[in-house]
């Protein structure tokens, strides 16, 4: 799973990494955060209406359009890649609203309660990389005039051999050459959300 992550890069670095065109009308301020948590509003990268990549700030914890309240997002921080196409909570987003979640690293914990070790998992020589995500748009059904809320989830798969000693699940790391395929919901995303060994994966106790 992925319950926290580090995003220590600035907006300019994220735009450059994911080839997001500069747009003064869509400039967002998001300070570096080494401990992003559920319900925070970090940046995601997605396709805009013009087919170009854009950055949006979204609440971590996906809330489907049919949910009654934002609390639903607490159960949708992570989405199992094996069931995206069939899960009631995720299938609509998987079919039309995919995103990349920029991260500097993600965390996992091991050990007994009260004495857990936090592991920082990153990619050597890559200060910024992408996790597979889905995003949704939700509006409070009890307040139809309220401003809508954009939310997202991080897709997970079975842990690879390197991470299996820490946890049985891991977030899906999307290789740069697969960014466009994942973002384009008309293309098959099933082959991306599978476990694979990753060159340069590093793990350090913090």
133-178 pLDDT, tens per residue?
A: 999 999 988 888 888 899 999 999 999 999 999 999 999 999 999 9
**C-beta separation of 189 from 182 below 8 A:** yes
- Which is the catalytic residue, given 108, 136, 150, 157? 108
**C-beta separation of 182 from 97 below 8 A:** no
- For residue 201, the domain's CATH number is 3.90.1680.10
Is the pTM for the entire model greater than 0.85? Answer: yes
Which residues span the domain enclosing 184? 5-205
What is the number of domains present in the chain?
1
The closest alpha carbon to 46, from 192, 180, 187, 170, belongs to 180
Burial of residue 92 (number of CB atoms within 10 Å: 0-12, 13-18, 19+): middle
Query: What percent of the chain has pLDDT above 90?
Result: 80
Is 108 among the residues known to form the active site? yes
- Which is the catalytic residue, given 2, 53, 76, 157? 2
């Amino acid at each position: 799973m992925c319950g926290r992550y580090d995003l220590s890069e600035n907006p300019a670095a994220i735009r450059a990494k994911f080839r997001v065109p500069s747009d003064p009308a869509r400039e967002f301020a998001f300070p570096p955060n080494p401990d992003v948590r559920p319900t925070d509003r970090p940046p995601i990268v997605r396709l805009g209406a013009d087919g170009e990549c854009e950055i949006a700030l979204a609440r971590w914890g996906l809330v489907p359009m049919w949910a009654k309240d934002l609390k639903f997002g607490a159960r949708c921080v992570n989405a199992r890649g094996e069931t995206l196409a069939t899960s009631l909570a995720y299938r609509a987003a998987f079919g039309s609203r995919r995103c990349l979640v920029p991260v500097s690293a993600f965390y996992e914990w091991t050990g007994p309660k009260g004495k857990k070790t936090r592991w920082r998992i990153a990619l050597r020589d890559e200060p910024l990389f992408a996790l597979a995500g889905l995003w949704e748009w939700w509006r409070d059904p009890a307040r139809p005039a309220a401003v809508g809320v954009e939310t997202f989830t991080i897709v997970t798969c079975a842990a690879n051999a390197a991470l299996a000693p820490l946890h049985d699940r891991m977030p899906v790391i999307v290789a740069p050459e697969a960014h466009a395929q994942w973002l384009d919901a008309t293309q098959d995303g099933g082959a991306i959300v599978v476990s694979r060994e990753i060159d340069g994966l590093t793990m350090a106790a913090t």
